Amino acid sequence: SKAALSNLVHNWARQSRERRFRVNVLSPGPTRTPGLLGAAGPEADRFAEAVVPLGRLADAEEIAEAALFLASDASSFVTGAELFADGGYTRA
């Protein structure tokens, strides 16, 4: 499903020229939320320490900042992109 979403974003970006809108996708990593901590408890922190290159869970505010960047004029020349806000988990 992740590959399908990525392909969809790329295709929409190609087709968005006439209407002048941008299409991007934000891929967050493990994030410190009540739901995750309720489900995984302290194991969530141990998981992050072991496998996330930055060694910790993201704070929800960090993911929000990445989303705000994509929504802002600061990313006005960004389209068809996938922004990984995952502490290096996906690519490392």
CA distances from 91 to 24, 27, 71 (A): 18, 12, 23
pLDDT band at 3 (very low <50, low <70, confident <90, very high): confident
CA pair distance 89, 13, nearest whole angstrom: 25
pLDDT reported for residue 9 = 94
**Residue 91 within any structural domain of the chain:** no
Number of domains in the chain: 1
CA distances from 31 to 1, 68, 73 (A): 20, 17, 26
Closest CA to 25 of 58, 41, 2, 56: 2
**Residue 92 within any structural domain of the chain:** no
pLDDT band at 1 (very low <50, low <70, confident <90, very high): confident
Q: pLDDT tens for residues 36-45?
A: 999 999 999 9
| Range of the structural domain that residue 21 is part of | 2-85
Q: Is the pLDDT of residue 85 over 80?
A: yes
Confirm whether pTM is higher than 0.95. Answer: no
56 DSSP assignment: S
CATH code at position 40: 3.40.50.720
pLDDT reported for residue 52 = 97
